[in-house]
């Protein structure tokens, strides 16, 4: 077992990473209402512990593939919030020069292989990235994030089978937030035991409380150690909950306000922060300092985005085809 070293600095780091995501997205909502961010905006509100916990287990050599709800993964992976905010606002100084937007963050330097907006579409890519690493002798793990809705896509089943068959070092992270848009988990699955599905492809796995950042980190560290040791994929189901609408247009007819409130009380930040405070592991002024620091970071990100230029329309067709392979 890999122990999570819960020293003071690490505890602060985990809390800060989650608060960064939460506050970043709160600012995104404001900017969306001000019509500075357009299109879809899928908030990660409530699910922060999953990406923060999992990223702790990865090294810079590892690879990450995410979904359209990937603000949390990108921030936790260390992608510059300035470039992310600028991308949100469709600016040239955004991580994808404004071509991707909220659902398609990419960062080659951090081996962040994209937000993918087709449910299940990122899973086969993970096979390829992991295969390429393996064939080139790189001992990297590919962490592939997807929601429980992806489990219903054929690509999930094809991918898990191939990952085990070819013994690829992939950490499959299923963020089970209990709703694929409005479709409730138990209304969509004949068998709600997801590790059972994984094990049918001989992919070992476990379910972890995705609202508990320490539990996620611990499980992810064990999983990544095991992947590196055994050279086989692993499936980690993180039970979590989305506090807000699927995107910004959603009357949420499919669930009750009481249900959402009950989950909010179990939220990853309120819970972790409460635990830290109750056990006197953190001082109130430390929380305030973190929040202040994060808010300054976000203010800077917004300023960076606001002052960013626009890609000239003359460059519209650039990168439709590439002149060379970037290195």
What's the chain's Rg over C-alpha atoms? 19
Tell me the longest C-alpha to C-alpha distance in the chain. 58
For tokens 């039970």, name the residue. 239
**Closest distance of CB 308 from other proteins, Å:** 13
Distance of CA 293 to the CA centre of its chain: 22
Q: Binding of other proteins at residue 202 (CB under 8 A)? A: no
CA 85 to CA 82: how far, in whole Å?
5
Cβ proximity to other proteins: between 279 and 321 the closer is 321
The correct pick among 159, 180, 218, 222 for binding other proteins (CB under 8 A) is: 159
Count of residues binding other proteins (CB under 8 A)?
48
Contacts with 111 (C-beta within 8 Å, 6 or more apart), sequence order: 60, 61, 62, 63, 64, 140
Q: Which stretch binds other proteins (CB under 8 A): 35-43, 67-75, 104-112, 260-268?
A: 104-112
Cβ proximity to other proteins: between 114 and 205 the closer is 114
Q: Binding of other proteins at residue 313 (CB under 8 A)? A: no
Q: Binding of other proteins at residue 135 (CB under 8 A)? A: yes
Q: Do 55 and 18 meet the contact criterion of CB atoms below 8 Å apart? A: no
Q: Scan residues 64-93 and list those touching other proteins (CB under 8 A).
A: 65
Residue 157: CB atoms within 10 A of its CB come to 16
Q: Binding of other proteins at residue 35 (CB under 8 A)? A: no
DSSP structure class, residue 107: B
The correct pick among 38, 132, 262, 310 for binding other proteins (CB under 8 A) is: 132
Hey, is 190 helix, strand or coil? coil
Q: Which residues bind other proteins (CB under 8 A)?
A: 63, 65, 94-100, 104, 106-108, 113-114, 116, 118, 121, 123-133, 135-136, 154-155, 158-159, 161-162, 165-166, 318-326
């Amino acid at each position: 077992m890999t122990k999570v070293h819960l020293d003071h600095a690490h505890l602060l780091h985990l809390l800060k990473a989650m608060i960064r995501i939460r506050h970043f997205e709160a600012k995104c909502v404001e900017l969306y209402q001000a019509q500075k961010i357009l299109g879809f905006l899928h908030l990660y509100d409530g699910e922060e512990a999953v990406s923060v916990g999992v990223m702790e287990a990865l090294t810079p050599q590892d690879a990450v593939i995410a979904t359209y709800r990937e603000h949390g993964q990108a921030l936790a992976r260390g992608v510059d919030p300035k470039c992310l905010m600028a991308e949100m606002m469709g600016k040239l100084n955004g991580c994808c020069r404004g071509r991707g937007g909220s659902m398609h963050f990419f960062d080659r330097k951090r081996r962040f292989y994209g937000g993918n907006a087709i449910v299940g579409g990122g899973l086969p890519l993970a096979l390829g990235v992991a295969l390429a690493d393996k064939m080139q002798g790189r001992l990297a793990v590919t962490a592939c994030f997807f929601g429980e809705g992806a489990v219903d896509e054929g690509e999930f089943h094809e991918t898990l089978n191939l990952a085990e068959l070819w013994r690829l070092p992939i950490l499959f992270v299923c963020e089970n937030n209990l709703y694929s848009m409005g479709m409730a988990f138990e209304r969509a699955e004949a068998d709600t035991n997801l590790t059972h599905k994984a094990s049918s492809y001989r992919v070992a796995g476990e379910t972890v409380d995705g609202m508990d950042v320490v539990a996620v980190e611990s499980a992810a560290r064990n999983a990544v150690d095991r992947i590196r040791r055994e050279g086989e994929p692993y499936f980690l189901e993180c039970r979590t909950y989305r506090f807000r609408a699927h995107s910004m247009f959603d009357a949420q007819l499919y669930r009750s306000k009481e249900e959402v409130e009950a989950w909010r009380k179990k939220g990853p930040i309120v819970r972790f922060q409460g635990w830290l405070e109750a056990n006197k592991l953190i001082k109130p002024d430390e929380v305030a300092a973190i929040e202040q620091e994060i808010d300054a970071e976000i203010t800077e990100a917004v300023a960076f985005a606001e002052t960013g230029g626009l890609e000239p329309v003359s460059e519209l067709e650039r990168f439709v085809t590439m002149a060379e392979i970037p290195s």
